[in-house]
Amino acid sequence: MVKVTPNALPSAPPPGTRAGGALRRLVFAATAGVSLAAASFSAVPTAAYADAVPQARPLTPLAPLLAPTSLGRASDHLTVTVRGTGGRGDGRFELACHPEGGSHPDVDGACGSLDRGARWGKDPFAPVSPDSVCTMMYGGPATAHVTGTWAGRPVDATFDRSNGCQMARWDRLVPLLPDLR
Q: What sign results for the dihedral spanned by CA atoms 77, 115, 128, 143?
A: negative
- Name residue 83's beta-bridge partners: 143
* CA atoms of 156 and 146, how far apart (whole Å): 6
φ and ψ of 123, to 5 deg: -105, 115
pTM exceeds 0.85, yes or no: no
pLDDT (0 to 100) of residue 181: 85
Q: pLDDT at position 93, please?
A: 96
Q: What is the mean pLDDT of residues 73-93?
A: 88
What is the rounded distance in angstroms from the CA atom of residue 152 to the CA atom of residue 25? 39
CA separation for the pair 125, 53 (Å, rounded):
20
C-alpha pair distances (Å), 39 with each of 61, 71, 155: 11, 18, 27
Give 26's contacts (C-beta < 8 A, 6+ positions apart): none
Between the alpha carbon of residue 137 and those of residues 3, 6, 85, 140, the distances in Å are 90, 86, 17, 9
Q: In this structure, are strands 76-83 and 143-150 parallel, antiparallel, or unpaired?
A: antiparallel
pLDDT tens digits for 140-163?
A: 999 999 999 998 889 999 999 999
pLDDT in tens, 50-78: 443 344 334 334 333 333 333 345 579 99
Looking at residue 71, its pLDDT comes to 39
